[in-house]
Structure 1
Amino acid sequence: MDVKQAVNQRISTRAFLDKPISEAEVRDWLETAQRAPSGGNLQPWRTIVVTGDEKQAVIDLAQKKLAGNPRGEPTDRPIYPPDLWEPHESRRRRVGEMMYEKLGIPREDKAGRIQWFSRNFRFFDAPIAVFFVIDKRMGHGQWAHTGMYMQTLALLAEERGWGSCFQECWGILRDTLHDHFQLGETEMLYCGMAVGWPDPDHPVNQLRAERASVDEIAELKGF
């Protein structure tokens, strides 16, 4: 598989097979991703990978916390900016509707949509979950470099035949997970990532989000 193929076929996988990934495979995956770009070679990222009972403990914690407050905990780093503007808001709404169309859950079935969304907090039954941690003292550059590391992991997962789904939704439990993982005082959890063998027969994995054209997002000058 070349890089272009990995980029083109990568999707947000939201249904996984009941098939494990070994510790040796995870270690090799993480070691290879260490070659991701890093300004100044700071390597500002840190990962926590959970499976088995450790993963279930996180799921149980999320269910307990969200049962009392489905909106989660306050944060100064929301998933999206407040009052998201166009064309970004339309893109966000469109991909959501495309997903529920694939699942056959109509807009009026609010209970069905909530039930599906709750699967986020079970990692869509993926065998492993990754949490990305960064020090709050880092600047925007280091956040960007951490994103490059995350993308590198996603493409390397694709090469291995795995699926992945970045899950910023875990940010609504940032304080709880900080305590659960006993993070350092200046460390914070950015987001999660579900990883495993994708279920090729599940309709949600047929979703391919629309992308803007190059002319919409780029200017080419001097050619």
Structure 2
Amino acid sequence: MNRTDRLYALVEELRAVSPRARPARELAARFEVSIRTVERDISALQQSGVPIYAEPGRRGGYVLDKSMTLPPLTFTPAEVVAVAVALGRAKDSPLASHARSALRKLVAAMPPPEGATARDLAARIHLVVEPEPYPRVSKVIERALLHRRVLRIEYEDRKGDATVREVEPTVFVGGRGGHWYLVGMCRLRQDVRVFRLDRIRRAEETEEASPEHSLDRFSMEVPNVILWNLDLG
């Protein structure tokens, strides 16, 4: 995890437990860094205006101001397990690791009795699925999409021939055959191309900003796949 991602994750971790404090040693263990690194990160966040303060005492630590947190959520144990089931069926999809993190925060925010009930109910539900393995290069592609950066990939086509390409990534898509794809503007072909994730041997996020492309054009170019899109409104 690079420093930018860690700073964001620190804020989200403190937001999830607020108004409780999180000791520096626990944060250090959570992000696999030293306590000194956590202290430097917290200082950087404070200097940038994030309302984090230190709470003294035996149970003290760092606290994110309540105004930066969501009000209490009244999920029932069954509702939480329903969310867990949905995430379980999508565990090999884009941003799956972030979904698991969100679920942990949701359970942690529940009162202890309801949290225990949710864990007990979840233990009695089993999913029988055979998902396609989610390629490691997907994490690099996720970051490039998030940061809107050009990707450099080594891609193997259906004949086994490999080429190195620069791609302006636009969307993840879920195919009817159960595969995941990256759709973007291929600079080598000077046109829209669809890249199956399990055929991408290597992926590197460059420092170059990726131009914006209209999704309408991409949906016309790739009729055999379903655009992976979530409405969060």
Q: Which has the higher contact order (CA 8 A, sep 6+)?
A: 1
Higher strand share: 2
- TM-score, with structure 1 as normaliser: 0.25
- TM-score, with structure 2 as normaliser: 0.24
Structure (1 or 2) with the larger CA radius of gyration: 2
